[in-house]
Amino acid sequence: MKKTKKNNIEFFHKMIKEIYEQPEVVQRIIDEHIDMKNKRVLFKDFAISPKRISGIKRFILVGCGTSYHAALLGKYFLASCAGIESEAEYADEFAGRKARVDKDTLVIAISQSGKTGDEIKAARAAKKQKALVIAITNGIDSPLDRLSDYTIFNQAGQEQALAATKTFTSQILLLAAFAVFIGQNKKTANTKICSQFFKEIGQLPKKIAGILKQNVHFEILANKYCKSEGLLVLGKGFQFPLALEAALKIKESTYIHGEGFAASEFLHGPLAICNKNMPCLFFAPRDECFKELKAIIKRIKSLKRKALVFSSAGNRQLLKLADDVVFLPKTIDIFFPLLAIIPLQILAFHIALLRGVNPDKPRYLNKFVG
Ligand code: BG6
């Protein structure tokens, strides 16, 4: 089997190699867009006038698959960092229902490849109605790049494995930065969150590198969970889009049925499908939602079901409650999904191998659908 080498580690699969590239991808984005000294987010050659930006009344984020999950997270970032309510929608639904927008609407079109047909249709429909279209894509000179008013490039380097890993982290980091940028430009920024953003962002590459060093721990977990019939993934707030993305990663990489839920919604029906061979995975950082998540974990355990919890370092009470815990480095609320998706990607990778699936090329799927 062909192997590649990076930082003296040998990789037999592209997916794990790309997962390990994440510290440098995040660092590249920081170097390009963050002015630490003046606490500003910068977008080079941003040709859209401050007047046009301040006149934007409606924000819509569109994407497909993983990029849709990034879009949904972008909605949460805009609300928390910039105090702006927005909409997130599947690109094909936006185009298909002939959504009405106008010149005071900003459509943020997110696509790893920049070539996804549904995404192009959505961006074209928005442009036709004179909306402003900003793309976030890894595809330089892609059709999406060419038709957008402005493009923010992921700069993640080519992603070859089917599963979006490093491009997802770059999308969500750029969306957080964009939310701060919009808040600063519209003068609606949440100053506390934005100041935390500038303090914390520089720490992310080191924290991600620390998570990657725990690879063996995730491999052990993979051995424990690889025979599951399904995985039910729960999160609240920022962790809700993360739960959807985690479930997609599990599905496409391992063929195990993964399903993501807004934590409270899980109790309104889906709980009925939770059997002994369907563990629940919780994204439950030590934030203001934790109490609620803890109650759901207790409920699951009272039903004698398995609970695997991803939480913040030091949240040791979980050791007594859950079957397994993954502790993530402490960070601010908006960055927890960025750190937490990494062990999940590694877990999905190892489960794929244990189930005999080639994680670089799972059956039936293409990197993008044109
Ligand atoms: C799907 C891929 O076809 O397209 C997903 O299987 C991907 O992994 C989705 O997330 C969207 O692709 P893109 O390039 O528009 O982000």
Residues 112, 63 contacting (CB under 8 angstroms):
no
What pLDDT band is residue 349 in, cutting at 50, 70 and 90? very high
Give the pLDDT confidence score for residue 12 in this predicted structure: 87
Whether the pLDDT of residue 8 is over 60: the answer is no
Task: Determine the 3-state secondary structure of 107 from DSSP.
Answer: strand
What's the CA-to-centroid distance between 86 and ligand 1, angstroms? 22
Ligand 1 in reach of 88 Cβ (< 6 A): no
Burial of 370: CB neighbours in 10 Å, binned 0-12, 13-18, 19+? exposed
Mean pLDDT of 86-109: 98
**With pLDDT > 90 as the criterion, what percentage of the chain qualifies?**
91
Mean pLDDT of 60-75: 98
Residues 180, 194 contacting (CB under 8 angstroms):
yes
Ligand 1 in reach of 112 Cβ (< 6 A): yes
Give the pLDDT confidence score for residue 271 in this predicted structure: 87
CA dist., res. 230 & res. 59, Å (int): 35
Ligand 1 in reach of 334 Cβ (< 6 A): no
Cα diameter, the chain: 58
CA dist., res. 365 & res. 370, Å (int): 12
Residues 41, 178 contacting (CB under 8 angstroms):
yes
Ligand 1 in reach of 118 Cβ (< 6 A): no
Give the pLDDT confidence score for residue 154 in this predicted structure: 97
**With pLDDT > 70 as the criterion, what percentage of the chain qualifies?**
97
Mean pLDDT of 325-349: 98
Give the pLDDT confidence score for residue 3 in this predicted structure: 61
CA dist., res. 212 & res. 210, Å (int): 5
Q: Which fold has domain 4-202?
A: Rossmann fold (3.40.50)
Ligand 1 in reach of 167 Cβ (< 6 A): no
CA dist., res. 232 & res. 249, Å (int): 12
Q: Ligand 1: which of 61, 62, 67, 152 to mutate, judged by most atoms within 8 Å of the beta carbon?
A: 67
What's the CA-to-centroid distance between 299 and ligand 1, angstroms? 35
Can you tell me which atom of ligand 1 is nearest the CA of 118?
A: 15
What's the CA-to-centroid distance between 120 and ligand 1, angstroms? 13
Burial of 97: CB neighbours in 10 Å, binned 0-12, 13-18, 19+? exposed
Ligand 1 in reach of 338 Cβ (< 6 A): no
Can you tell me which atom of ligand 1 is nearest the CA of 164?
A: 8
Give the pLDDT confidence score for residue 370 in this predicted structure: 85
Indicate which residue's Cα is closest to atom 4 of ligand 1: 368
Whether the pLDDT of residue 2 is over 70: the answer is no
Residues 47, 134 contacting (CB under 8 angstroms):
no
What pLDDT band is residue 75 in, cutting at 50, 70 and 90? very high
pTM here is 0.96
What pLDDT band is residue 214 in, cutting at 50, 70 and 90? very high
Give the pLDDT confidence score for residue 59 in this predicted structure: 98
Can you tell me which atom of ligand 1 is nearest the CA of 167?
A: 16
Pick the CATH number of 214-354 from 3.30.70.270, 3.40.50.620, 3.10.110.10, 3.40.50.10490: 3.40.50.10490
How much is the CA Rg of the chain, to the nearest whole Å?
20
Cβ atoms < 10 Å from Cβ of 92: 18
What pLDDT band is residue 7 in, cutting at 50, 70 and 90? low
Give pLDDT tens digits for 228-255. Answer: 999 999 999 999 999 999 999 999 999 9
Alpha-helical (H) ranges within 50-190 are: 50-54, 65-82, 91-96, 117-128, 143-147, 166-186
Can you tell me which atom of ligand 1 is nearest the CA of 66?
A: 10
Ligand 1 in reach of 67 Cβ (< 6 A): yes
What's the CA-to-centroid distance between 24 and ligand 1, angstroms? 22
What's the CA-to-centroid distance between 18 and ligand 1, angstroms? 16
What's the CA-to-centroid distance between 244 and ligand 1, angstroms? 14
Residues 165, 17 contacting (CB under 8 angstroms):
no
What's the CA-to-centroid distance between 68 and ligand 1, angstroms? 9
Indicate which residue's Cα is closest to atom 15 of ligand 1: 111
CA dist., res. 99 & res. 126, Å (int): 8
Give pLDDT tens digits for 162-192. Answer: 999 999 999 999 999 999 999 999 999 999 9
The values of phi and psi at residue 192, to 5°, are -65, -50
Give the pLDDT confidence score for residue 280 in this predicted structure: 97
Whether the pLDDT of residue 1 is over 70: the answer is no
Residues 307, 254 contacting (CB under 8 angstroms):
no
State the span(s) of the chain assigned CATH 3.40.50.10490. 4-202, 214-354
Indicate which residue's Cα is closest to atom 9 of ligand 1: 65
Indicate which residue's Cα is closest to atom 3 of ligand 1: 368
Whether the pLDDT of residue 5 is over 70: the answer is no
Give pLDDT tens digits for 120-161. Answer: 999 999 999 999 999 999 999 999 999 999 999 999 999 999
Give pLDDT tens digits for 192-208. Answer: 999 999 999 999 999 99
85 to each of 60, 173, 188, 279, 290, how far by Cα in Å?
Answer: 9, 19, 12, 34, 24
Q: Strands 230-235 and 257-262, how do they pair?
A: parallel
